[in-house]
Amino acid sequence: MDKLFNGFLALIACNVFVILFLMLYKILEGARLSLQTYGFSFFWGASWEPFPPTPDMQPSFGVLPLIQGTLVTSAMALLLATPISLGIGLTLSEFSPKRLNFLVSFLVELLAAIPSVIYGLWGIFILIPFLQNHIYPALQATFGFIPLFQESIRGPCVLTGSIVLAVMIIPTISAISRDVFAAVPDSQREAIIALGATRWETARMVMSYARSGVIGAIILGLGRAVGETMAITMVIGNSFNLFNSLFDPSYTLASIIANEFTEASSPPVYISALIEVGLVLFVLNLAINAFAIVIVWQTMKRVKGS
């Protein structure tokens, strides 16, 4: 009976691999035409011409601006969200009274449950007017000497996209980091308190103890940011260009698929190119997650000291 049950479980577990490989296979199959036509130039090309201006030209596709848009908005979202999220996680696990904890945890998890299209609407109608009228001009006035803050200010732009993404990944990172902080044994807190640590020093010890979990939390947030589609599509401006300034509009891998898939019935290489964009996104996310696992694993090994 045990054997049967074990076999049954193994079979279910194998499904994960089957699904992964089926997906990869289907994506590769769909992207084959584009892969064959454009080869590596697809990855560092910077033009997106499904319908060339003159009939004698071939359609051309290159996703470098999409990769730039995706990676830069995700990285900036991480930069903005991580300190806030770790602050929330640390407050909830170390500083705030129990009753408040429950309320704040509930609100943070509620944030995670809001559909991303709502974040997009909030971005368009509330965040963009506010940023465009109050924050961005001030930013430009202060940091205008840096090229990243030059050029004319647009509402939908890289910075707006990053901010919306940051708000969206805060619940993920703070909820996980709260859990990993709370999992630090009390014996560790008592050890450092008994040595004469202040509350802040105790909190620092907790962060250091939990760092592998914190890295895991951050990278899960990054994975979410990279794959996020709806909200970022609504606020990034959807302009296929390599940008120089954070106030420039941009485009992401996920956004272009969402925007163009329904219209990409012909030529056949167009839809194949969009599927290849999906392949890039897939591989990027897989790489981020693998990277996360390796880091978590490494720090765990260091902590265990064997």
Partner 1 sequence: MSYKIEIEDLNAWFNAKKVLKDIYMKIPEKAVTAIIGPSGCGKTTLIRCINRMHELSPGGKVSGRVLLNGENIYAKDVDPVIIRRKVGMVFQKPNPFPMMSVYDNVAAGLKLTGLNDKSKLDEIVEKSLKLTSLWEEVKNELHKSGASLSGGQQQRLCIARALAVEPEVILMDEPTSALDPLASAKIEQLIRRLSKKYTIIIVTHNMQQAARVSDFTGFLYLGELVEFDETKKIFENPKTELTEKYITGEFG
Site residues, partner 1 (CB under 8 A):
185, 187-188, 190-198, 201, 205, 208-209, 211, 302-306
CB of 211 vs partner 1, minimal distance in Å: 7
As given in the structure block, the two tokens for residue 229 are: 């589609």
| Closest approach of partner 1 to the CB of residue 10, in Å | 34
Q: Is 53 strand, coil or helix?
A: coil
Q: Which of 62, 25, 70 is nearest to 288 (CA)?
A: 70
> What's the token pair of residue 114?
């809001």
User: Measured between alpha carbons, how far is 127 from 113 in angstroms, rounded to an integer?
Assistant: 19
| Closer CB to partner 1, 75 or 192, in the complex | 192
CB of 185 to partner 1, least distance (A): 8
Helix (H, G, I), strand (E, B) or coil at 139: helix
Token pair of 65, please?
């601006």
Helix boundaries (H) for 183-267: 186-194, 199-209, 211-227, 230-235, 253-260
Query: Quick check: 74 and 165 in contact, CB under 8 A?
Result: yes
By beta-carbon proximity to partner 1, the closer residue of 211 and 261 is 211
CB atoms within 10 A of CB 302: 11
Question: Which residue, 32 or 302, has its beta carbon nearer to partner 1?
Answer: 302
- Distance of closest approach, residue 201 Cβ to partner 1, in angstroms: 6
Q: Which residues of 262-281 are buried (b: 16+ CB within 10 A; e: fewer)?
A: eebeeeebbbbbbbbbbbbb
CB nearer partner 1, residue 124 or residue 189: 189
Q: For partner 1, give the closer residue by CB, 53 or 97.
A: 97
User: With respect to partner 1, which residue has the nearer C-beta, 188 or 259?
Assistant: 188
Nearer to partner 1, 33 or 205 (CB): 205
Q: How far is the CB of 209 from partner 1 (least distance, A)?
A: 6
Residue 303 Cβ vs partner 1, minimum distance, rounded to whole Å? 5
Nearer to partner 1, 187 or 262 (CB): 187
CB of 187 to partner 1, least distance (A): 4
**Residue 186 near residue 209 (C-beta atoms within 8 A):** no
Please return the burial class of 50, using the count of CB atoms within 10 Å of its CB with bins 0-12, 13-18 and 19+.
Answer: middle
**What residues contact 48, with CB distance under 8 A and at least 6 apart?**
60, 61, 62, 63, 65, 240, 256
- Hey, what are 175's tokens? 């909820």
